[in-house]
Amino acid sequence: MSNNFYSYPIKLTPSIRMTYTDSRVHVGRLKNAVDFITRKNTPIMAALDGTVVDVKQDSDTGGDTEYYDKFGNYIEIRHPNGEYSIYEHIKKDGSLVKKRDKVKTGQIIGYSGATGWLAGLGPHLHFDVHKYFGEGPEDYETVEISWQRD
Ligand SMILES: [Zn+2]
């Protein structure tokens, strides 16, 4: 389980579907990831206080096959507990934050979109909490998320 309670990265409304298992990509190191199926331009919020460590927002391309993986925009945040959260598929120029910015829980950090590898889900926000075990960009494993329900 995650070391802290995380807030939902999106305001949950009846039109938004939250699913752990619809994406066939959520296996192996991504097995604890969650998707929020939502229209483009939905505000995204930091799930916990932290520091922005990476932002990609220059892509306007998405699709259903792995080929599109490299076109995915995202924001990644490091938290004081050693865990990281990531917000993927954001729209082009859809980040309101930049590397090294400090963010607070619930702060709007960007807007959802449909960039990268969408795996047949259409526009959605991919979210996960992970820990690194090595130096490589993919040397991490997702952890089961404890949600702050308020
Ligand atoms: Zn996903």
**Centre of ligand 1 from the C-alpha of residue 88, in Å:** 8
Q: Averaged over 129-140, what is the pLDDT?
A: 93
Is it the case that residue 150 has pLDDT exceeding 90? no
The pTM of the full predicted model, rounded to 2 decimals, is 0.96
Mean pLDDT, the chain, rounded, equals 96
Q: Which pLDDT tens digit goes with each residue over 66-95?
A: 999 999 999 999 999 999 999 999 999 999
Domain coordinates in residue numbering, the chain: 5-147
3-state secondary structure of 71: helix
5-147 carries CATH number 2.70.70.10: yes
**Centre of ligand 1 from the C-alpha of residue 150, in Å:** 24
Residue 149: its pLDDT value, please? Answer: 81
CA 136 to chain centre: 18
Residue 137: its pLDDT value, please? Answer: 83
**Centre of ligand 1 from the C-alpha of residue 40, in Å:** 15
* Cβ neighbours around 19 below 10 Å, total: 13
Q: Averaged over 126-131, what is the pLDDT?
A: 98
Q: Which pLDDT tens digit goes with each residue over 13-31?
A: 999 999 999 999 999 999 9
pLDDT above 70 coverage of the chain, percent: 99
Residue 138: its pLDDT value, please? Answer: 86
**Centre of ligand 1 from the C-alpha of residue 45, in Å:** 17
Residues 6+ apart with CB under 8 A from 67: 117
**Centre of ligand 1 from the C-alpha of residue 124, in Å:** 8
